[in-house]
Amino acid sequence: MAIFLLPWWMVVISAVVILFFTDRYYEFIFAGFFMDALYGNNIVLLNNFNFVYFGTSIILYIVLNKLKTLLRSNV
């Protein structure tokens, strides 16, 4: 629901915060896909790549899960 009502940056910030407090938050990846499906534009610098939010959400999901496991293992 936040994808429809909030700006993109608030959706990303809230998803990153929720990702740290949950074990598996696959909705983060789906949110990136739906944001691209609804609001995505072709990026000329990336050879007309259309799925910028989706690609960014996958990369953030992997990086933040690795960071989360490192932080939890050192506690």
Distance CA 34, CA 10 (A): 15
Contacts of 26 (CB under 8 A, 6+ apart): none
Q: Which amino acid does the sequence have at 2? A: A
How do residues 35-61 score in pLDDT, each as one tens digit? Answer: 888 877 766 666 766 777 888 889 988
Helix/strand/coil for 18: helix
- Please state, rounded to an integer, the average pLDDT across all residues of the chain: 80
pLDDT greater than 70 at residue 29:
yes
